[in-house]
Amino acid sequence: MPRLLDGLLVLDMAQFLSGPSAALRLGDLGARVIKVERPRTGDICRTLYLTDTELGGDSTLFHAINRNKESFAADLKNGADRAAVKALIARADVLIQNFRPGVIERLGFGYEHVRALNPRLVYAGISGYGEEGPWMDLPGQDLLAQAVSGGMWLSGSEGHGPVPFGLSIADMLAGHALVEGILAALVRRGITGEGAHVQTSLLEAMLDLQFEVLTTYLNDGGRAPARSSLNNAHAYLAAPYGVYATRDGYLALAMTPLPKLAALLRSEELETLSQPPEAGFDKRDQIKRVIADQLVQDTTEQWLHVLRAEDVWCAPVLSWPDLLGQEAFRRLDMLQTVRRVDGTSLQTTRSPIRVDGHRPKFESAAPKVGEHTNALIDEFGLR
């Protein structure tokens, strides 16, 4: 069936995670994505390993973020290659780049340069901390962006040091934010015929992630968030919010009236502590300790049976093997196997977006460096 972005041509001139993740999402929605990368070595992400596993000479990370793309090898400092890339830009709908501020301009592919080639182009860029100011030249890396964003002080319990997310969350969020801007720019282009310059950064994405709690801080007299010293899960939410050990695993408890929970746990101490209503904040650690001591007495399954029957918001804490074995996960149909010409195949995720009840599925894995260069030269008449 036709895909939402069929007919759109995207040039992915980005590296690592943030920019390529945006191109991946556009490709999942049906756009044709051509990855422009240096000859021989390609995107640095090809050798950025999460484990010692590689597939066809490339890291699993590269495969995950670059499936269903074509690879055009070009040295942007070589005259003939530069001319070929400019010819592609003249035909493209979207260009994505995440060079450090100033670098792509020096290469001759800044927004003003390419706008002259293609006024309808949506030119999209991700930086570390914006294109101006004292941080603009600092390395735009996920952990570093997390560090300066303030977000590390929201996870972990009081008394712990700063706790980073266990994912490249700044990269992924910046990629998603860029896609939102690109799609909006394409809508406007459909109305006015004009392209646009869309920009975001890792830091801006991390700040946007925190908009709920940062807004609270800004309008709460500058009172800093206070992490619970026990089972902290959200610095601004009252007890019982958190993750608790059971006899055989862990149980997550969300917002629940404490008197109701006290009755279900048969805890007179918790019932006493639950008054007045603001006790969930004022006595947060004390209340959490009582709940923790009670929940560890029985199994996760038993507590789920008791609590869910009374509409208490709770869930087991699953590992990946646990999750993948669930019928609920199977019904989502979120996995696919992709392959490339050298015989490399791997299992990976699918797009989280369904359109008219259908989730896009592809068979093409991440390309070899320059795998499609000659075919693209012939198709677009680049030389």
> Which CATH number fits the domain that encloses residue 284?
3.30.1540.10
Print burial letters for 290-319: b (CB count within 10 Å at least 16), e (below 16). Answer: bbbebbeebebeebbeebeeeebebebebe
Could you tell me the pTM of the whole model? Answer: 0.94
- pLDDT tens, residue by residue, 229-272: 999 999 999 999 999 999 999 999 999 999 999 999 999 999 99
Catalytic residues: 171
Q: What is the pLDDT of residue 277?
A: 75
Question: For residues 125 and 97, is the Cβ–Cβ distance under 8 A?
Answer: yes
Pairing of strands 94-97, 122-127: parallel
| pLDDT score recorded for residue 303 | 98
Please list the ranges in the chain whose pLDDT falls under 50. Answer: none
Beta strands in 75-195 (DSSP E): 94-97, 122-127
Alpha-carbon torsion angle 129, 135, 138, 140, nearest 10: -10
The Cα 368–Cα 242 span in angstroms is 45
* 230 falls within a domain: no
Same domain, 84 and 179: yes
- Residue 223 inside a domain? The answer is no
CA angle (177 as vertex; 61, 29 as ends), nearest 5:
70
Number of domains comprising the chain = 2
| Structural domain includes residue 58 | yes
pLDDT tens-digit readout, 35-44: 999 999 999 9
pLDDT value of residue 276: 83
pLDDT of residue 115: 96
Pairing of strands 70-73, 94-97: unpaired
Same domain flag for 304 and 371: no
Full domain range(s) for residue 58: 9-209+331-380
In this structure, the answer to whether residues 162 and 263 fall within a common structural domain is: no
Residue 229 lies in a domain: no
8 Å CB contact between 36 and 13 = yes
The one-letter code for the residue type at 189 is R
Q: Half-sphere exposure of residue 51, counting CA atoms within 13 Å on the CB side?
A: 4
For residue 233, being part of any structural domain is answered with no
